[in-house]
Amino acid sequence: MDSIGSLPEEVLSHILSFLTTKEAAITSILSKRWRNLFTLVPNLDIDDSVFLNPEEGKRERDGILQSFMDFVDKVLASQGDTPIKKFSLKCKTGIDTDRVNQWICNVLQRGATSLELVLDFPGSDDNWDSDYMYLLPRELFVSSKLVELKLRSEFGVDWWRGGTDTFLPMLKTLHFESTWILLCDDLEVFLSAFPVLEEFYMADIDWPQSDQSASSQSLRKLTIHAGGFQDFRNPKRISFDTPKLVYLEYSDFVAADYPKVNLPNLAEAVLDLKVTLHQIDLIREPDDENVVSLRLRNVWKLIRGLRNVNKLFISAETLEALSLCCESMPVFNNLKSLHIICEADLGWQAMPALLRNCPRLETLILKGLLHHVTDKCGDACDCISREDKGRSLSSCPVKKLEIRGFQGTVREKEMIRHFLESFPCLDEMEVYADQSDNDPTNVEVNRIYKIIAYKVHGKEISTHTVLQSKGMSQSQMEEISSQFTPRNNRNKYGMVYILHGTHPPPQEISQYYIKELLNEEYKERQRVHDAMFDGIVEQYPMIASALKARQAATDSEASNDQEKKRDFEALLEIMTDLYPDFASALKAMRGTDLERGEPSRDQGEMAELGQTTPTDMAADLLPRDGD
């Protein structure tokens, strides 16, 4: 405590700024020097749940809410006119809203640049009754110093009646998060009140008007989660005129039109277009005489505006909607990473056109493989047999494929095989098993954390376990791998299984890391083989003499300092020549393997599986010393 207490007051107040205001105030009891230190803290974090919890039922006690409000009053009064940077206030029902607004005005007058307000004050049953509806203070809408503002409420954010004259000249970050948001004007007029705004987040909004335009010359990051136009769902017109925007996250019902989409610098986009069940039917069977069907086709204008992105995330419903613009699909010349969410009842009709128009795609991530099958899925999937199978994939340069939510179905395995056969440049595939369902009947998938397929250029294809699970044998992994393995000879892949073990597997595993693990595994298995070899040779002098004579005949006189050559094939041949019983048992064992269609396993693999190895057989069949 002495070493901390000797620090300057500026340093101590900075340390206290990382605590909640209640925690910082408690330090005043440490000594006289600490008594007023918390009043110098430039950040205030006031949360009524911290003050009233963790005792259950404390909030309902008589006078406890009054005690909380008195505490906040005293903290602000003790600080006087001290400048403040950040003010965070979290309050629930029962707090006097007039006092809340006084607190907000207090910190604004002291130059607060960052406000985070979580105010769960419900409105009345009588809509728009000003006697009951909580309104933010007017001072909030005209602050000349506010840089960051975040508003959140379970009962809605009402900007309409308080913010008709909004002008925040320094605001750069604005977040709305609520069950509903009521703006004072349409979006274009609203955004004009923030001339330097760079980040705008708005969740759970129903558009007040059917025509909306997100227009800003300063915005760089825009997130909109909308639910259409009130009861009509699909808005009429949505435009984006944000030339400096680099990130767009947009979720809404498909609009009838997108008149202007000006996004020349957009680098990353997350697109979640919503459609009704009736509209899905119209998408799958377009009707040129249906007005709704014709309007849905204008989605191509929005997609064309995203053509410069480097990274694109699209939902399952978006992929379904994109099937209306397959012929007008833009070329994504800069796209390197494509993320697609798939659902079993939504289709892949747009997948072939999308993949054909990504000439520089490097990474493809699919969350789920199961989808609604139609003949319009094209050659992107393996669900329907067709002559041009894999054509759109063969022109796609993707190097890494990531599949999440693998459930182990036959259909998924066939699709994975299809990808491995058809993507010509694919170097690596990662398959993550679905752990959300935990179906007890799907034992194999429950054991798997991750499967990695890596392209090999030699003749040998192998499977390895990185994290060993006692519940899965080498033969089980080989059986699963055989269901993925390409039938053609053009692409060959080795498999690495990362299984659930006692320690959680690393989140990201590089190729170098995999190679190092496999190298260590190979060395360990080689040590086991060498020990077996040496044990047999040392125990049976006749075998040792025969092996030495054979080696001398082939290698001439090897020097004593030369590493002993362990030739397992020679060892087995000598053993079968010297001991007929061993030869018969070995022949029977190999014959059984061939009948089951399994390759002969080496000693290390069989020992790992707990099965009889040639060494074990030798111990039983070869004559003991003195026999």
- Alpha-carbon dihedral of residues 167, 173, 177, 182, nearest 10 degrees? 20
Indicate whether 118 pLDDT > 50. Answer: yes
Q: What pLDDT was estimated at residue 589?
A: 60
d(CA 143, CA 112): 9
Span 464-481, mean pLDDT?
62
- pLDDT tens readout for residues 406-450: 888 888 888 888 888 889 899 999 988 887 655 555 556 666 778
Which tokens go with 517? 């693990």
- pLDDT tens readout for residues 62-116: 677 888 888 888 888 878 888 888 999 988 767 888 999 999 999 999 999 999 9
Q: Is 600 exposed, middle or buried (0-12, 13-18, 19+ CB in 10 A)?
A: exposed
Instruction: Give the 3-state secondary structure of residue 39.
Output: helix
Cis status of the peptide bond prior to 506, with omega within 30 of 0: no
- Say which amino acid occupies 536: I
Indicate whether 227 pLDDT > 80. Answer: no
Check: CB of residue 430 under 8 Å from CB of residue 451: yes
d(CA 168, CA 145): 8
Place of tokens 């307000």: 117
Provide CB contacts within 8 A for 581, sequence distance 6+: 621
Q: What pLDDT was estimated at residue 521?
A: 57
Partner residues linked to 251 by β-bridges:
225, 272
DSSP-derived letter for residue 314 is E
pLDDT above 70 coverage of the chain, percent: 62
- pLDDT tens readout for residues 171-202: 999 998 876 676 666 788 889 999 999 999 98
Instruction: Give the 3-state secondary structure of residue 273.
Output: strand
Task: Give the CA radius of gyration of the chain.
Answer: 35
d(CA 515, CA 492): 17
Q: Which of 263, 277, 373, 267 is closest to 313 using CA atoms?
A: 267
Ramachandran category for residue 352: left, alpha or beta (phi over 0 → left; psi -120 to 50 → alpha): alpha
